Amino acid sequence: MDQNNLHTLFFIDHILKTEQAQKIQQLAKQYSAQYAHIRDMSKEQADLFLSQLPSSSYGEEKVKRLYFDGCFDLMHSGHFNALRQAKELCETLVVGVIKSDAIAKAKGPPIMTDEERLALASACKWVDEVVIQETYDPTIEQIDRHSCSHVAHGDDLVQTADGKDAYQPFKDAKRMKIFKRTEGISTTDIVGRMLLMTKEVMWEEKKVFQKQTVVEASNINSLEIDQVSIEQTLNNKILNTTRRIMQFSNNKKPKPGDKIVYIDGSFDILHQGHVDVLRKAKELGDFLYVGVYDNETINKIKGKNYPILNLQERVLNLLAIKFVDEVIMGVPYKVNEQLIKNFKIDLVVEGTCSQKTVDDPYELPIKLGIYQQIQAVNKQTADELIERIVSNRLRFLEKYNSRKKKEINFFENHDYKVEEI
């Protein structure tokens, strides 16, 4: 019996211990595509991997097409984990990105544009199709239009303007799939970090807002972030586990003969510019390593209160992007000989929008002739996103205080009945 068949039987043996035998035939068909990387694992590695698979991977039968909508503004690992869980429930995941004007009517304008949010959702490796959603709340007619049998959402209640459950029609029709909301990070939290970041650094002088009204710094300081919200923002950090890393990981390694490409950076607050440069970097080879600087390195380069997201959060975000094969954590700022040799790097690439210090980090790859610069089409940066917060600080302070209180209330009073997939 060849090695592939041996591993298939090994996989089925694990399932037989935990699930009904009638599921096995279906699983055997799905195995070769969905868990092909197990063939490259040792028995001990495969045992660990299989023991940590969510039960829905081999339990409840998946729906054919599942619809999941969202704003996906300042996309983070909580968004990606929701998409991962939704994908576990279906064969094809259709994602609706809510239009900016619909978001504005429901809870105020988003920070990112429709195009930027679409780019991020489309780049997620768990997303199969992306559509624009015209309304804030989905309807049965909308998901029918996309040939979806069910809609998915986290276990946090979504209310309409009149206080009703926005998903009640789907629940009544038994067309609803619910997964656990990811705790510890949210768009509201990230906006809070950006607001705290800009308070002392960027507001010493008068600022002109979009409506051309001049606001004194003293007036801005009088509308502070609620103290409870500040403490929650600083203390309510995402608690990652090795299981979460495994859930996001591709479990891939370069194959013999692969051209290995390396790109590094902060990757703080994922945006369309990151997606563009990562896609172009992957197109230059077969396997893409992404090196991520640690928090201290970023702070030395950029100063202020950077990075906005910590190392764990940034690593998870990158692992969710379809162009990224593997992430190297806490890489040196200067690409050195050890890094190139250890990972057998054939090409080191850099985006034209990357921020350098006086000391060129790519001196060695340039000398070795393995350096290439990628021309950035979209020149978006994290600084630009912060400027959007700054130029509308009063509006975002009000929005932050309101939404943060709702989040605190949710986590204090929520009855945790839904297990994470």
Q: Are residues 97 and 171 in the same domain?
A: yes
Confidence label for 406 from pLDDT (cuts 50, 70 and 90): low
Hey, how many other C-beta atoms are within 10 angstroms of the C-beta on 59?
15
Contact in structure between 93 and 87 (CB atoms under 8 Å): yes
* Tens-place pLDDT, residues 303-344: 877 898 999 999 999 999 999 999 999 999 999 999 999 999
Q: Are residues 113 and 222 in the same domain?
A: no
d(CA 35, CA 50) in angstroms, rounded, equals 10
Q: Which residue has the higher pLDDT, 106 or 280?
A: 280
Residue 117 lies in a domain: yes
What is the per-residue pLDDT for 261?
98
The winner for highest mean pLDDT among 186-190, 215-219, 253-257 is: 253-257
Residue 317 lies in a domain: yes
Q: Which residue has the higher pLDDT, 5 or 151?
A: 151
Which of the residue ranges 79-88, 185-194, 397-406 would you say has the lowest mean pLDDT? 397-406
As a whole number, mean pLDDT of residues 93-97 equals 98
What is the per-residue pLDDT for 185?
78
What is the per-residue pLDDT for 207?
37
Q: Is the dihedral of CA 341, 342, 345, 348 positive or negative?
A: negative
Residue 42 lies in a domain: no
Q: Are residues 196 and 111 in the same domain?
A: no
d(CA 76, CA 78) in angstroms, rounded, equals 5
Identify the domain containing residue 130 by its residue range.
63-179
Q: Are residues 303 and 317 in the same domain?
A: yes
d(CA 349, CA 215) in angstroms, rounded, equals 43
Q: Are residues 249 and 319 in the same domain?
A: yes
What is the per-residue pLDDT for 339?
97
Q: Report the CATH number that the domain containing residue 300 is assigned in CATH.
A: 3.40.50.620
Residue 3 lies in a domain: no
* Tens-place pLDDT, residues 68-79: 999 999 999 999
Q: Are residues 327 and 366 in the same domain?
A: yes
Residue 162 lies in a domain: yes
* Tens-place pLDDT, residues 15-52: 444 444 444 444 444 554 555 555 566 666 665 655 55
Q: Are residues 267 and 357 in the same domain?
A: yes
* Tens-place pLDDT, residues 350-403: 987 766 666 889 999 999 999 999 987 777 787 888 778 766 665 655 555 555
| Residue in 202, 351, 380, 386 with CA at minimum distance from that of residue 279 | 351
Q: Are residues 143 and 89 in the same domain?
A: yes
Does the pLDDT value for residue 172 go beyond 90?
yes
Q: Are residues 218 and 247 in the same domain?
A: no
d(CA 47, CA 199) in angstroms, rounded, equals 50
Q: Are residues 142 and 206 in the same domain?
A: no
Residue 345 lies in a domain: yes
Q: pLDDT above 70 covers what percent of the chain?
A: 67
Q: Are residues 125 and 172 in the same domain?
A: yes
Count of structural domains within the chain: 3
Domain boundary residue, one of 179, 202, 227: 179
Radius of gyration (C-alpha) of the chain in whole angstroms: 23
Residue 216 lies in a domain: yes
Q: Are residues 235 and 249 in the same domain?
A: no
Contact in structure between 348 and 324 (CB atoms under 8 Å): no
Domain boundary residue, one of 137, 160, 179: 179
Residue 56 lies in a domain: no
Q: Could you give phi then psi for residue 294, rounded to 5 degrees?
A: -75, 170
Structure tokens at 239: 């608690």
